[in-house]
Structure 1
Amino acid sequence: MRYAKCIVIPDDEGLHPVDQQIADHPDIARELLHNVNLLADDTIVTLYQLSGDAAALESILTDSKMVRMYHLSKADDAIHAYIHVGAHDRLVGLLSMFREFEFIFDTPLEYTRRGGLRVTMIGDVGSFQQAIPDVPDGIRIKLLKTGTYEPNTDRLFSQLTDRQQEILETAVDMGYYNVPREVTHADIGDELGCTGGTVGGHLRKIEAKLLSQIVP
């Protein structure tokens, strides 16, 4: 089984007006998109993972005429939002393209620091080049790499934020998880330009997130 990993990069109008409203709010951060489905009537259902001000998010969803239904749940620092939005040509076009070429998303999809969406598509990688001309105006797709699909590693690592991935990769590279341990939180912090306490806090969150999915 093959995959193509890419970044979907929309222009300033975003992929969908509701998504862009959320992105533009200074107190809300989009972390992951656990699911996105195009329905038969061209409306779209999504499952977001966000952080920040839940009240501000609810205000956006309540006021938007494009939101048909939503449900929010909050646990610790994470907000999960099921949102059913009305049809919008740009996102409908993109999802229709993926469906036409029979790509399957490996979820969750991850938002980048610049507002793009990191996507792993599973299927006939040769179809990727054929699909490019059908990408809607206002959206670029940047291919990062292709290869043999290994679901467990990609899925777990993709659930971390960009900063968590950077800290975990640095910790592994510097020997933090070697036996015996070769560096401290402070050493990693010096490498990344932050405090040892910040590194320790991130690593605890990373370990909690990953280990909870490994242990039955």
Structure 2
Amino acid sequence: MRYLRLELRYPPDLMHPMHRLVDESDAVERDVLLQGTVLDETADTFLFYVEGDINVYTDALRAVDRIREFEVTRIDDDGYYVFLTQRRDAVDEAMFDPFQRTGIVVVPPVDFRPSGTVRLTLIGERGPLGDALAELPDRIGSDVLRIGEYDWRQDLFDPGLTDRQFDALAAAVESGYYEFPRSGTVEEVAERIDAAPSTASEHLRKAESAMMSAFIELRDVA
């Protein structure tokens, strides 16, 4: 199954008010859509994971007219689930309708980030995926961050490595670079991936940094 890891960039006037909150308030650190039910009706239901000051977040929810109701469940000191129903509007339809088609599945989570960016994963056939990207409104920017064959197990822990960073790590493991005591060298890694030692070392450092950051985030959520 082919997948795309996609980043969308929204101008301020097309951003949902709760997405703008991520930009405008330091009180909300993370806003992630975990699941959603979008039917042929006028309202949609969503489950979000939120990190930050829940009072600021819920005050913002109450100020959005199209949000009909919501329920908050506390997980720990900083993390919450927010279950809400909201009325769909024309902006929602323009942004998400391209993905509501035969041959495509949007795989949660959908990560709402600062500066109007959203990251999500799409699974589907080449034709429908291309059509969906082509039908996005002109004012919404898009970048394909990664493309390949989908494996659900990868999403259990995905630090977002580039192909070269992954190759360098794999070569390091195979050569014994991470054994104790260490039996492999950066030079061996470089030879295995056909790169200069300085380049191999840079790939390893960046990969290690990404993996440790992703691991800490995973532990924080768990």
Q: By the TM > 0.5 criterion, same fold? A: yes
Who is 2:109 aligned against? 108
- Asked if the contact 2:101–2:128 (Cα under 8 Å) also holds between the matched residues in 1, the reply is no
- Asked if the contact 1:23–1:29 (Cα under 8 Å) also holds between the matched residues in 2, the reply is no
Cα distance between partner residues in 2 of 1:48 and 1:83: 8
Cα distance between partner residues in 2 of 1:124 and 1:100: 11
AA partner of residue 147 (structure 1)? G
The structure with more radius of gyration: 2
The 3 A distance-change label for structure 1 pair 209 and 126 is farther
Structure 1 residue 5 displacement after superposition: 1.4
Count of residue pairs the alignment pairs up? 187
Q: For each residue in 1:109-137, what CA deviation from the matched residue of structure 2 results, as whole angstroms up to 9, or x when unmatched?
A: 22345331111101113322222332135
Who is 2:219 aligned against? 208
Cα distance between partner residues in 2 of 1:26 and 1:132: 32
Who is 2:137 aligned against? 136
TM-score for the superposition, normalised by structure 1: 0.70
Who is 2:5 aligned against? 5
Who is 2:47 aligned against? 47
User: How do 1:74-85 and structure 2 match up within 5 A?
Assistant: 74-76=74-76, 77-85=78-86
Calculate percent identity across the aligned residue pairs. Answer: 18
Who is 2:33 aligned against? 33
- Partner of 2:129: helix, strand, or coil? helix
Structure 1: 5+ residue runs without aligned partners? 183-190, 193-199
Structure 1 residue 178 displacement after superposition: 3.3
AA partner of residue 208 (structure 1)? R
TM-score for the superposition, normalised by structure 2: 0.68
Does residue 55 of structure 2 align to residue 64 of structure 1?
no
AA partner of residue 67 (structure 2)? V
- Partner of 2:13: helix, strand, or coil? coil
Structure 2: 5+ residue runs without aligned partners? 183-204, 207-211
The 3 A distance-change label for structure 1 pair 24 and 113 is closer
- Partner of 2:100: helix, strand, or coil? helix
Cα distance between partner residues in 2 of 1:36 and 1:28: 21
